[in-house]
Structure 1
Amino acid sequence: MTEIRLKDSSRAHILIRAANWVGDAVMTTPVVRAVRTNFPRARITVLAKPWVVPVYANNPHVDQVMVYENDGRHKMGLGTLRLAKDMQHQRFDLAILMQNAFEAALLAFLARIPERLGYNTDARRLLLNRCIKMDPALKKGHLIDYYLAILTSAGLETAGRELELYPDPRDREWVQRFLDGENLSGPGCPVLGINPGATGGTAKRWFPERYAQLAEKLAERYQTRVIIFGGPADRELGDEISAMANGACINMAGRTSLSKAFALIGALNLFVTNDSGLMHAAAAQNVNQVAVIGSTDHIATAPANKNSVMVRQPVPCSPCLKKECPTDHKCMDKITVDMVVAACNAFLEKDGFSG
């Protein structure tokens, strides 16, 4: 076992290198909480790429978020050395690397951080003096446990597996104004959202026409409109679904910041989503959700809250983990609109929405 020698004190300064994808970052929040539990008096800084900063903003276990300005001050090349120097000025005592890349270990090494903890993957063994041997069994479980094992392998305690997300109170106020303006905040009116996009190719995406049909059915039954979520790259997809859904949707894809999207998800009564970062954001806020799962590993990246259900149809080629389906996308094609509607109705009826 690779024991951490750092002792808790008000002078201790710990760096947590964040994962680079929103969903992965959300799944590391139990690690952040556990680090605080082990070092209640230490200063904890998270180093994060700009697009995942909202995951850690307002987190009570984090004292500082240090932005990795990969397209600016810290751009690859001289920027890497500049970032290492910026990190060195912070005088960290311990670096805990959630990201497995060689670069993450190199930065911690160049920053002269005395204890550098992470998995021994990607030729990093010589750069990490608290090096954790990768147990192949971890690859077969959930990513939350994969991340937490970095701590337990170093003799540190965990503090539960629950995800955490803390939207900005100003974003919550914006959400209420938005819902009031769209007449979605009345009594007996469920607030519903769909997330038809997903990063990394189309293989993870249920079909737009089926999302449109789903939205139409839910809007008609519950006398409401369905909010479409997504990033800037999903705006056209949202427009396409809105057109097919004949007025049943409000397309907010690409029209909010990520922090506002988190807050808006937190106000939903039900979220329907592909496997995505926003799926984990909903899980972190204990939002009822139906996750439509096709090509991805439903064990490793399942939504971690109890009030989530996965709708999936096992096929021989799934999970393939491919970006694009090379054949007939059968894993998604076998998931019908009626299957997803039934899962949605079960949640909404349980919460007292009769439709």
Structure 2
Amino acid sequence: MNKILVMGPSWVGDMVLAQSLFKQLKIDQPDCQIDVAAPTWTLPLLERMPEVSRAIALPFKHGDLAIGERYRFGKQLATDGYTQAILLTNSLKSAILPWAANIPIRTGFKGEMRYGLINDMRPLDKAFLKKTVERFVALGRAKDAPLPHSLSLPALQADRTNLSGLMQQHSIALSDSPVLGLCPGAEYGEAKRWPVEYYAEVANAALNNGWQVWLFGSDKDRPVTSQIQQHTQQRCVDLAGKTRLGEAIDLMSACHTIISNDSGLMHVAAALDKQLIAIYGSSDPGHTPPMHPQAVIEYLGLSCSPCFERVCPLGHLNCLKHIPPSRVIAHLSLSTQIPQV
């Protein structure tokens, strides 16, 4: 049996996309065991991926090289019998642990002088492997093997038994009304955030048509969700900063439709098979699109985009401001009444 250790990415969205690799590994090698080493905050995602046998929490601080700590941690895994390591990040530090664990085959893309640490080095042709998900899946295949005809879609398994308790905890009333989830934050920066007043206009349209509106995000997104609440007379359920990632996943599973910036929660929504409207500004939907065939992508493709900047370098943010709320509202079937729980 092939026992594979995957060095997982740190970003929530990238970890969701990594499930396409895990699913393809199970197709190509049905008997393989997949363990994933990743930062602690991504583990709730791995718990909802049935392909993953074991999630290993990495104890290192984000950004720290910590060569000695990584070496010692790798030595602890040396007796676990891994036959291959697949590195989904291109950093030098991510290659130390599999090398220290003496894993026979260590697969990764060329990057950051990792010669010797990686012995199955792959060149990265960004023109051919345009999408992050394609790059992940390619690392799980034999060198020079083509990508599969169609990629397996991420599919998170929400804990539905946990949902009722969460709704009670957050004082959410049971209702036959459909739920609109809004994810108005973006960890990367304001150049990926659709204006708060636009989100509020969409929220008001849904609320006025009998929908519930739930606001998702981290503690850092609370100023944004608080503004939406002000514009909607406090009629939304504001969950920003009040849920751990696993809880947010379970609550999002009760939504009918989700509107999101290009963020980790956007990829979560796609992997939960939600009706999704994804709004792109400074980033490129050709590089990290939501992995859902019916996802609606709003992207203007202006001459200045994608710039991949955290803050608009031209100061106008036209890539987002020129996507009007009416355009997004038009994608909603506001008369729909679908029981959710």
Give the TM-score of the pair, scaled to structure 1.
0.87
Q: Distance in 1 between matches of 2:61 and 2:248?
A: 23
Alpha carbons 2:212, 2:236 under 8 Å: kept? yes
Asked if 1:15 is matched to 2:2, the reply is: no
Q: Distance in 1 between matches of 2:151 and 2:219?
A: 34
Spell out, residue by residue over 1:258-289, the C-alpha distance to the aligned partner (whole angstroms, 9 max, x if none): 00111111111010110001101111111001
1:249 to 212, 232, 236: 236
Give the superposition deviation at 1:156. 9.0
1:150 to 109, 123, 139: 139
Q: Distance in 2 between matches of 1:136 and 1:261?
A: 33
Alpha carbons 2:87, 2:108 under 8 Å: kept? yes
User: Structure 1 118/332 Cα, relative in aligned 2: closer, same or farther at 3 Å?
Assistant: same
Local SS of the residue matching 1:152:
coil
Local SS of the residue matching 2:154:
coil
Q: State the percentage of identical aligned residues.
A: 28
1:165 to 156, 163, 172: 156
Local SS of the residue matching 1:95:
strand
User: For residue 106 of structure 2, what is the aligned residue in structure 1?
Assistant: 116
Give the TM-score of the pair, scaled to structure 2.
0.90
Q: Distance in 2 between matches of 1:123 and 1:161?
A: 32
Paired residues in the alignment total: 334
Q: Distance in 1 between matches of 2:207 and 2:124?
A: 48
Asked if 1:288 is matched to 2:279, the reply is: no
Higher helix share: 1
Give the superposition deviation at 1:152. 2.9
Larger mean CA deviation between 273-282 and 120-129 belongs to: 120-129
1:130 to 116, 120, 137: 120
Give the superposition deviation at 1:171. 2.9
User: For residue 317 of structure 2, what is the aligned residue in structure 1?
Assistant: 329
Structure 1: which amino acid aligns with 2:313? Answer: P
Local SS of the residue matching 2:297:
strand
Spell out, residue by residue over 1:137-166, the C-alpha distance to the aligned partner (whole angstroms, 9 max, x if none): 235x22211211112343598584211212
Alpha carbons 1:117, 1:130 under 8 Å: kept? yes
Q: Distance in 1 between matches of 2:302 and 2:27?
A: 42
Spell out, residue by residue over 1:83-126, the C-alpha distance to the aligned partner (whole angstroms, 9 max, x if none): 22222242322101111211112221122111101111222233
Q: Distance in 1 between matches of 2:178 and 2:321?
A: 28
Structure 2: which amino acid aligns with 1:335? Answer: I
Name segments (4+ residues, structure 1) moved above 6 Å: none
User: For residue 5 of structure 1, what is the aligned residue in structure 2?
Assistant: none
2:202 to 214, 221, 225: 214
Alpha carbons 2:23, 2:152 under 8 Å: kept? no
Local SS of the residue matching 1:314:
coil
Alpha carbons 1:195, 1:228 under 8 Å: kept? yes
User: For residue 94 of structure 1, what is the aligned residue in structure 2?
Assistant: 84
2:180 to 169, 180, 192: 192
Alpha carbons 1:14, 1:93 under 8 Å: kept? yes
Structure 1: which amino acid aligns with 2:163? Answer: R
1:59 to 31, 46, 49: 49
Which ranges of structure 1 fall in alignment gaps of 5 or more residues?
1-8
Alpha carbons 1:238, 1:251 under 8 Å: kept? yes
Which ranges of structure 2 fall in alignment gaps of 5 or more residues?
none
Alpha carbons 1:294, 1:332 under 8 Å: kept? yes
Q: Distance in 1 between matches of 2:125 and 2:277?
A: 31
Asked if 1:174 is matched to 2:155, the reply is: no
